[in-house]
A and B are shown apart, each in its own frame.
Chain A
């Protein structure tokens, strides 16, 4: 029989858990609603198709979209092979040893470093020392270093989740270590790796502090990897911080949120299709 006391505890726990879940969701919804409510009036085709004029008071945000896309793409293209390679090294090419522990400790530390420190590093190393200037290249490489730990750890988790039997089967059929990685490990780790990339894209799109220090804040349309550029987040920050135009700032914010939602939806769709296709 249920005692009244236990019944009461049960009820209270249930209420507390509901409150926790509901407050999380409502904070999210409030942010979304506020940004969209303030920002949507600014969203019209011209907003996406024109570049900013008069410091961003007029015109659209096209050059910031292009800058952000180029910077994010560069960061992901650089960080993915490095991160996936490191994870494969840690999981498949070494046994637990001092070396692997040091590498893992290093990546964990990297994950905990505040982004402004990455920005400072990028500024000193890429912008000044390598003379790359404020550019998409400097920004992209800096962000690549920032997202590396995420890609390493999600890939490692994905590889850890692969049944040991897949390895054993591949080796027993005469596979070399490399062949086993390529044919038995990577295809099955792909969904996890993909999740890591999506998280990284989100982080890269939202990054402001490190990017403003390395890619600069030029509103001109970038023409090469070595052009300085202002990304959407940086644009949003400058518009709001310097009181240039709250209306345009919210418009940029709303566009940013919609873009992230779009990327996540498309990515999830692709991922589900891949997983369904294989099972």
Chain B
């Protein structure tokens, strides 16, 4: 059986010790699309993203039911190689999180963990990743200075490059432009449009305008419920659900 979807989420619920964070989410993500997942704070967006690469496993006291399939494979299968899963599904967090290492060492961190030590090969990976994240020209002369000295926008593109260095299949971006100026935001959005050719992207935008600018399809998440899913055009201009409409038009949020 061929899978036309990249990710299939089926009846997926998550609860933290007492409260439910996600309720019976069912959603399919298609290959090479930018899927925008939006909704107010604490609606479960980050929980859903961190479930997809099982980073949520690090948080004590969470439980889930339902399943998530990637290329038809259940990611909660006990036989699954967890570390490989996390390399296949890269995540960029809302705040830039450079490690206190040089630019080069930040980008090559993932490949080195995977066992790539060849200097020449690492150099190629670093250059390719930085080019894809539209950062190469700004940092090519100082790859061995600390990543902490970059500006906020550069740090965030560094984080994107660091994920790209893993050569993942899916990119999860959790408000990657919060705290960035409009110019940095524009350059990140520009790189997303290029990256879509090779990757499947799930983006939590930091506002609805950004969502509507880059989305192919979008889903509205509210208090742990997936209220509505559709094409970007439909969701942002003709939402079917009253709650989606109220949120998109700014009646609450």
Q: Footprint of B on A, CB under 8 Å? A: 95, 165-176, 179, 183-184, 187-188, 278-279
Contacts and interface: CB of A to CB of B under 8 A. Distances in A.
B2 interface: no
B163 interface: yes
B53 A172 contact: yes
A168 B99 contact: no
A184 B101 CA distance: 10
Contacts of B99: 166, 169-170, 184
A165 B113 contact: no
Contact of A168 (B97, B146, B148, B163): B97
Contacts of B163: 172-173
Interface residues of B, number: 26
Interface in B106-120: 109-110, 112-114
B86 interface: yes
B58 interface: yes
Contact of A175 (B83, B95, B97, B100): B83
6 contacts: A166-B99, A171-B86, A172-B163, A173-B113, A174-B84, A174-B166
B110 A174 contact: yes
A192 to B, nearest CB: 14
B93 interface: yes
Contacts of A179: 113
B86 A279 contact: no
B60 interface: yes
Contact of B109 (A168, A183, A188): A183
A172 B86 contact: yes
Nearest to B87: A174
Most chain B CB inside 10 Å of its own CB: which residue of A173, A175, A179? A173
Contacts of A172: 53, 55, 86, 90-91, 163
Given A168-B97, A169-B99, A176 B83 contact: yes
Contacts of B114: 174
Contacts of A175: 83, 113
Contacts of A279: 100, 146, 148
A179 B97 CA distance: 18
Contact of B100 (A170, A174, A176, A278): A278
B109 A170 contact: yes
A169 B97 contact: yes
Interface in B68-125: 83-84, 86-87, 90-91, 93, 95, 97, 99-101, 109-110, 112-114
Contact of A167 (B58, B87, B93): B58
B162 interface: yes
Contacts of B146: 278-279
Closest CB pairs A-B (n = 9): A173-B110, A174-B87, A165-B97, A174-B86, A174-B83, A172-B91, A175-B113, A169-B97, A179-B113
